[in-house]
Amino acid sequence: MDERQLRGHTAIVGVAESDLGEVGPGVTALDLAEQAAGRALDDAGLSIADVDGLFTHSAFFPMPSVVLGERLGVRPRHSDSTATGGSSFLAHVRHAAAAIETGMCEVALIVYGSNQRSASGGLVSSGQNAIPSYEVPFGPRLPVSAYALAAARHMHEFGTSREQLAEVAVAARRWAQLNPVAFEQGDLTIDDVLGARTVSSPLTVRDCCLVTDGGGAVVITTSERARDLPRPPVFYLGGAEAHSHMSISQMPDLTRTAAAESGARAFDLAGLSPADVDVVQLYDAFTINVLLFLEDLGFCAKGEGGDFVSNGGIAPGGHLPVNTNGGGLSYCHPGMYGIFTLIEATRQIRGQAGDRQVPDSHVALAHGNGGMLSSQVTVLLGDASVL
């Protein structure tokens, strides 16, 4: 058996967000997961009775797929709570493609929900760590300090400037202004980003993702069944996972992420190269992420990410459309953003992205990040023209 045979055999047939932003008191993470799941099944023209594979991860409840199964009334043949932080949901897509191919399930539902803004007002991380850490007594503010260390190193090695990092936040805001459900819609300039409060130098609060509520869901089934459903199928072309460390002090090289491995493997499986990609969705927990992932996924050479995003390079009208929903920086970030890269990639390929629609989107790359630049998962999706 060769993983290449998964190419084009499954398709995303339904996607949806729950209510986003600040849902207010009384609405739980599970409520938002349920809402997203129902809406995604409606989008797919399927019902809960069709679901036999359940995939989820949560920082709010243990045994996530079991808890969600009870709530939704799903008794899955295949259950997967793979937990690689914000990249989990992209890993779930690859696992679902393999499970469907081998007959372990036929309709896979991937779900996420978080009410971190309403519940705590701060980023909620997966699991309270019962393993002693030698790092914690020094007082890093995690995760932001980990990403700040990477940004400082990137600036040192490649001459990347503060302004270039800010370009990422400004581009995200300009896309968000085209997305009616984006949380932040106001104008944002490079000077605004540089002048904002420093959280962990060199990163200011505008280099950091939002803290919002929100959920999302994705439905995947066989390509054969997908052709009979109401939405145009968005085919799974290839996906790959990689992780290199958990703690930032164990990252072998702060300017080179495991996205270089996941990206290369995903492109190989899909038979594609970065030049074939029409629209890119990257997990932008912090501005530095976007530079690192553009480099490591092969959209530009190592060290050239700063130049690549300069002068609106990834903003509307730039040379590569990146994070067209406004990303975790301006659209929504409930804690584990990965599922939203899949939702936006699907909408762009379907041609359903409204004012932010990228013309002729046939191939999309969705990339998830988890931990401290730790886990990297890349998924390539496309329409029928690239099969």
**Which are the catalytic amino acids?**
283, 331
- Please identify which residue in the block is written with the tokens 């001459």: 159
Apex CA 148: angle with CA 332 and CA 369, to 5°?
A: 45
371 binds other proteins (CB under 8 A): no
Of the candidates 159, 245, 248, 244, the residue with the CA atom closest to the CA atom of residue 200:
248
CB of 276 to other proteins, least distance (A): 35
CB of 122 to other proteins, least distance (A): 14
Scanning the chain, the segments in alpha helix (DSSP H) are 29-44, 64-72, 88-101, 116-119, 144-158, 162-176, 190-195, 223-226, 259-270, 287-296, 305-309, 327-330, 338-350
Return d(Cα 334, Cα 214) in angstroms, integer: 5
Out of 148, 176, 218, 364, point to the residue binding other proteins (CB under 8 A).
148
Return d(Cα 248, Cα 217) in angstroms, integer: 30
CB of 139 to other proteins, least distance (A): 6
200 binds other proteins (CB under 8 A): yes
Tell how strand 279-282 and strand 363-370 pair up.
Answer: parallel
DSSP H or E segment with residue 282? strand 279-282
145 binds other proteins (CB under 8 A): yes
Residue whose CB is less far from other proteins, 50 or 135: 135
CB of 288 to other proteins, least distance (A): 11
Structure-token pair, residue 160: 């990347």
Out of 25, 139, 317, 359, point to the residue binding other proteins (CB under 8 A).
139
Q: Which of residues 97-136 bind other proteins (CB under 8 A)?
A: 132, 134-135
Residue whose CB is less far from other proteins, 60 or 158: 158
CA distances from 137 to 66, 118, 133, 140, 150 (A): 35, 29, 8, 8, 20
> Do 273 and 267 contact (CB within 8 A), yes or no?
yes
Out of 54, 74, 100, 149, point to the residue binding other proteins (CB under 8 A).
149
> Do 286 and 254 contact (CB within 8 A), yes or no?
no
Residue whose CB is less far from other proteins, 148 or 381: 148
CB of 235 to other proteins, least distance (A): 39
The size of the interface with other proteins (CB under 8 A), counted in residues, is 26
Out of 119, 152, 181, 229, point to the residue binding other proteins (CB under 8 A).
152
CB of 12 to other proteins, least distance (A): 38
Structure-token pair, residue 48: 């809960």
196 binds other proteins (CB under 8 A): no
Mark residues 245-274: x for contact with other proteins by CB under 8 A, - for none: --xxxx---x--------------------
> Do 212 and 19 contact (CB within 8 A), yes or no?
no
Out of 2, 128, 138, 385, point to the residue binding other proteins (CB under 8 A).
138
Out of 113, 140, 214, 238, point to the residue binding other proteins (CB under 8 A).
140
Return d(Cα 140, Cα 128) in angstroms, integer: 16
CB of 162 to other proteins, least distance (A): 14
Q: Which of residues 308-367 bind other proteins (CB under 8 A)?
A: none
Say which residues have a Cβ less than 8 Å from residue 261's Cβ, sequence separation at least 6: 240, 242, 376
Stretch that binds other proteins, among 85-93, 146-154, 210-218, 285-293 (CB under 8 A): 146-154
198 binds other proteins (CB under 8 A): yes
50 binds other proteins (CB under 8 A): no
Scanning 159-211, the segments in alpha helix (DSSP H) are 162-176, 190-195
Mark residues 202-241: x for contact with other proteins by CB under 8 A, - for none: xx--------------------------------------
Residue whose CB is less far from other proteins, 135 or 307: 135
Neighbours of 306 (CB within 10 A): 24
Using CB under 8 A, list all residues that contact other proteins: 132, 134-135, 137-141, 145, 148-150, 152-153, 156, 198-203, 247-250, 254
